[in-house]
Amino acid sequence: MIVCPNCNHPNPDGAVQCEACYTPLPATIHCPSCGATVQADAAFCGQCGYNLHSSSVPVLTPVAADVSNLSVEEPPAITPNPIQAMLQPEDLELNIPANSTLPPTTVVAEPIAEPIAEPNTPIPALESLESSPAPVQIPLPGASPVTASKTQLQQIVARVFHVQSNQEIELPQTLSVIHMGKPNDRIPPDIDVSGFANSEIVSRVHADIRVEGDAYYIEDVGSSNGTYVNNLPLLPGNRHRLRPGDRISLGKGDLVTFLFQLS
């Protein structure tokens, strides 16, 4: 049976358009696990939670790099200079003969002038510089020692508020994917709606809330009756970033409704 997304009219399997409003119907397939009819673009079966794309993930095989054709160039050899090799260190020195008539050269060293200290300028002693006291940090008025040493960060807590029962549910802070639905054997729900009224319109694996840093996203994972955000349908495979006050409806008719909150 295919449910029309426009008027919710049940149509027989294999129907192309709705018998009541003539709306084109989405393509359907049968779940390979339980045989239930689900939409062709669904990620999970709405009845048993089977992953419909589990067998379509390609496997990548690492390929070793071929280094057999690589060549390493050797640096060119340096040819020594024969003229430089013939010269000896003593050949470079200047030898003055003993019978030279050149007068000896006298080198006069100029005295180095010492710096003159300005009068009445005291020179600080080394001991006084080493014994100078360290600067003292004065805490701000009204600040306690604990707040002056470190700053406590406030952690954001996300919740969903069930409108029909006025019940507040805190989202787990240790999970990156939070499943919404009813108990099943494959993907147990983190938010179980089986105890709420009209829960029969909610699939066992209905929707997921994904946490990425400080952002929260909701997506439909192939439910039978759909997921709605602020009364607009959320197509399977698409996701919506949740903001405080967003209205989440599991199924049509706004019968199982949650409000997203941050505190």
For 51-96, the pLDDT digits (tens) are 777 654 444 445 555 556 666 666 666 666 666 656 555 544 445 4
**Integer distance in angstroms from the first to the last C-alpha of the chain?**
43
Q: What is the pLDDT of residue 121?
A: 56
Summarised one tens digit per residue, pLDDT across range 164-220 is: 999 999 999 999 999 999 999 888 999 999 999 999 999 999 999 999 999 999 999
DSSP letter at 200? G
CB-based burial, 125-144: b 16+ in 10 Å, e otherwise: eeeeeeeeeeeeeeeeeeee
- Yes or no: say if 234 and 220 are a contact pair by the CB < 8 Å rule: yes
Q: What is the pLDDT of residue 141?
A: 55
Can you list the domains of the chain with their CATH numbers? 158-262 (2.60.200.20)
Select the highest-mean-pLDDT range: 2-16, 28-42, 108-122, 243-257. Answer: 243-257
Residue 142 tokens, joined: 């009204």
Q: Which residue has the tokens 């399977």?
A: 236
Q: Which residue has the tokens 């840093």?
A: 213
- Yes or no: say if 199 and 255 are a contact pair by the CB < 8 Å rule: no
- Yes or no: say if 189 and 44 are a contact pair by the CB < 8 Å rule: no
Q: What is the pLDDT of residue 192?
A: 95
- Taken in order 141, 142, 146, 149, the sign of the CA dihedral is negative
Q: Indicate the pairing of strand 177-181 with strand 191-192.
A: parallel
**What percent of the chain lies above the pLDDT cut of 70?**
61
What are the CA-CA distances from residue 47 to residues 154, 197, 223, 225 (Å)? 40, 19, 8, 11
Calculate the CA dihedral of residues 222, 48, 231, 260 and round it to 10 degrees. Answer: -110
d(CA 230, CA 85): 92
- Yes or no: say if 179 and 189 are a contact pair by the CB < 8 Å rule: yes
Residue 10: phi and psi, rounded to 5, are -75, 130
Residue 205 tokens, joined: 């694996």
Residue 144 tokens, joined: 């306690």
Residue 136 has pLDDT above 50, yes or no: yes
